[in-house]
Structure 1
């Protein structure tokens, strides 16, 4: 796992804990606020997790592409 992914997951876990505490202490008529917060957080987790893994894949691909380009330009 790369460092950026771990930092992102730690930040999201902290925010999720805050959201769950918020959900626990809000009155029933206002639980939709905490529920919306947690749903948005889940969406963000999915997006950032995909971005972090995608960035790793892209870095590997660009490294391979650059290597091929350098090999072709030298020959």
Structure 2
């Protein structure tokens, strides 16, 4: 999935947050379950009573959406 991606830096020299692990886990869950990741999340969160929890879709307007903060801006 990521084998052809260039490294950002030499391993062990820098830190850069990515969602590669999350992307990989979602692909594994889809393969194992035969369901789309979105459907898996919806089913699990609904079972937990979390009826207002959704995956983030950047193109959709979600009132009161929490935004990520880039900590590098505060250095």
TM-score range normalised by the length of the shorter chain? 0.3 to 0.5
TM-score (norm 1): 0.35
TM-score (norm 2): 0.35
Q: Which has the higher helix share?
A: 1
